[in-house]
């Protein structure tokens, strides 16, 4: 187990290295002179030449690109990702203040998709080829084909504008979170239902299920004790990835609902050309994604010993 975790850690580090190179590459591609922009953001109008030169030296902008990368990485390791071009706030601070809202949304959306997709997938598998299966597949396929932001606008139209049941803009309150979480769940329900369905079908053809039936067990205990526990592993793997994807992929939906999370911060910054904040998002996303992946891998290995030997 220890060797397995070590091996995964090394893999995660190499992923983070590529993430850092890509992020720095994006930073280095930024057009314009960051020194001037930053000085103006800090409140200095038309900064004098000496101040610009001093800032350039401080940012190591006259060094070769590789050295710049080393300096950038050194700062990043200490949590310094530069400052916003707009508000001059440190980028790390901006993300730390907003990650909670995105986390809350991701947890709710994941829970909602599991609550719907798991029973739906099991039902579709048990009623394979019948009406319920076809219906479930059609609904799921249709849901997965609609753009999330568009579903969001439609839901606002129905539940907020016409029925006045829920607020149009998302806020981290019980009523405010329903619509954005629903929108995010729709796309994941498509993936999870299909996965659950095929996982259940897979297990149903296993010999131990046939044996369980053959020795006269009733259908329900077989489902609960023999089928479902074996469906958990593949579903859990994907569920971890779904959650990781949600943590970094809620941007467009956050934008629609004006949700105060990290995705909306990234989009607002992208539209305002606030590059350090945008680059900070790729770093944050890469970090969250890698850590989540690592946790999923280790968690699966803890549940299922067969994985460790791979």
Partner 1 sequence: MDKAMSIALRLPSSAVGSLTRERPAQELALRRRPSRWRRLGWTGTGALVFLPLLAVVAIVGPQLWTWTAFEQHMDALLQGPSLAHLLGTDEFGRDILARLLLGARWSLAGAAGICAGTSLLGFLIAALAVSGSRKMDAIVGRVIEAMMALPGLVTALAFAAILGASFTNLLLALVVTSWPWYARTYRALLLKERTALYVESAVAAGAGRWRVLLCHALPNIIGPAAVLATANFGAVILNLAGLSFLGLGMQPPTPEWGEMINEAARYFQDYPWQMIAPGLCIAATVLAVNLLGDALRDVADPRTR
CA 201 to CA 71: how far, in whole Å? Answer: 53
Nearest distance from C-beta of residue 147 to partner 1, angstroms: 5
Q: Is residue 250 a contact point for partner 1 (CB under 8 A)?
A: no
**Is there a contact between 235 and 166 (Cβ–Cβ < 8 Å)?**
no
* DSSP-assigned letters across all residues of 222-248: IIIIIIHHHHHHHHHHHHHHHHHHHHH
Nearest distance from C-beta of residue 80 to partner 1, angstroms: 19
Compute how many residues bind partner 1; rule: CB under 8 A: 48
Specify the residue, 104 or 252, whose C-beta has the smaller distance to partner 1.
252
End-to-end Cα spacing for the chain = 11
CA 212 to CA 219: how far, in whole Å? Answer: 9
List C-alpha distances in Å: 67 to 60, 61, 92, 210: 8, 10, 22, 64
- Per CB under 8 A, the list member of 48, 58, 258, 273 interacting with partner 1 is 273
160-179 positions binding partner 1, by CB under 8 A:
161
**Is there a contact between 91 and 277 (Cβ–Cβ < 8 Å)?**
yes
**Number of C-beta neighbours around residue 248 at 10 A:** 21
Angle CA(254)–CA(258)–CA(259) in degrees, nearest 5?
55
Binding flags for partner 1, 276-305, as an x/- string (CB under 8 A): --xx-xx--xx--xx--x------------
List C-alpha distances in Å: 190 to 27, 137, 180, 287: 36, 8, 17, 26
Q: Is residue 255 a contact point for partner 1 (CB under 8 A)?
A: yes
Specify the residue, 222 or 285, whose C-beta has the smaller distance to partner 1.
285
Angle CA(162)–CA(250)–CA(184) in degrees, nearest 5?
50
Q: Is residue 243 a contact point for partner 1 (CB under 8 A)?
A: no
**Number of C-beta neighbours around residue 216 at 10 A:** 6
Of 78-86, 109-117, 224-232, 265-273, the segment contacting partner 1 by CB under 8 A is: 265-273
Nearest distance from C-beta of residue 62 to partner 1, angstroms: 21
- Per CB under 8 A, the list member of 4, 5, 8, 11 interacting with partner 1 is 11
Q: Is residue 271 a contact point for partner 1 (CB under 8 A)?
A: yes
**Exposure of 111 in the CB half-sphere (CA atoms within 13 A):** 9
Q: Is residue 251 a contact point for partner 1 (CB under 8 A)?
A: yes
Q: Is residue 130 a contact point for partner 1 (CB under 8 A)?
A: no
Nearest distance from C-beta of residue 184 to partner 1, angstroms: 13
**Is there a contact between 39 and 46 (Cβ–Cβ < 8 Å)?**
no
Binding flags for partner 1, 23-62, as an x/- string (CB under 8 A): ---x--xxx-------------------------------
Specify the residue, 96 or 158, whose C-beta has the smaller distance to partner 1.
158
For 218, list phi and psi in degrees, rounded to 5: -70, 160
Please report the sign of the dihedral spanned by the C-alpha atoms of residue 299, residue 305, residue 307, residue 308.
positive
For 158, which DSSP code?
I
- Per CB under 8 A, the list member of 181, 192, 248, 301 interacting with partner 1 is 248
Q: Is residue 68 a contact point for partner 1 (CB under 8 A)?
A: no
Q: Is residue 149 a contact point for partner 1 (CB under 8 A)?
A: yes
Chain residues that interact with partner 1, rule: CB under 8 A: 11, 14-15, 17-19, 22, 26, 29-31, 141-142, 144-150, 153-154, 156-157, 161, 245, 248-249, 251-252, 255-256, 266-267, 269-271, 273, 275, 278-279, 281-282, 285-286, 289-290, 293
């Amino acid at each position: 187990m220890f060797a397995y975790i070590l091996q995964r850690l090394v893999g995660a580090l190499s992923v983070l290295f590529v993430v850092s190179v890509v992020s720095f590459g994006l930073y280095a591609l930024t057009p314009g002179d960051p020194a001037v922009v930053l000085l103006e953001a800090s409140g200095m109008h038309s900064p004098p030449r000496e101040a610009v030169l001093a800032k350039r030296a401080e940012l190591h902008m006259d060094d070769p690109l590789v050295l710049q990368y080393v300096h950038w990485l050194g700062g990043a390791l200490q949590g310094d990702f530069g400052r916003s071009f707009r508000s001059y706030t440190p980028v790390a601070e901006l993300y730390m203040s907003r990650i909670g809202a995105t986390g809350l949304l991701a947890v709710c959306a994941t829970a909602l998709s599991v609550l719907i997709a798991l029973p739906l997938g099991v039902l579709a598998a048990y009623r394979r080829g019948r009406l319920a299966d076809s219906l479930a597949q059609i609904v799921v396929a249709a849901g997965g084909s609609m753009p999330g932001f568009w579903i969001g606008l439609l839901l606002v139209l129905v539940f907020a504008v016409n029925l006045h049941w829920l607020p149009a803009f998302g806020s981290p309150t019980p009523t405010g979170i329903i619509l954005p979480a629903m929108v995010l769940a729709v796309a994941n329900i498509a993936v999870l239902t299909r996965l659950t369905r095929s996982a259940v079908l897979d297990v149903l053809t296993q010999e131990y299920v046939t044996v369980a039936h053959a020795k006269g067990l009733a259908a329900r205990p077989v489902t609960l004790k023999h089928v479902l526990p074996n469906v958990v592993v593949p579903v859990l793997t994907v569920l971890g990835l779904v959650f990781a994807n949600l943590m970094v992929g809620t941007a467009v939906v956050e934008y629609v609902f004006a949700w105060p999370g990290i995705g909306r911060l990234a989009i607002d910054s992208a539209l305002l050309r606030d590059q350090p904040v945008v680059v900070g998002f790729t770093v944050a996303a890469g970090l969250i994604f890698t850590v989540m992946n690592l946790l999923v891998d280790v968690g699966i290995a803890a549940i299922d010993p067969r994985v460790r030997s791979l």
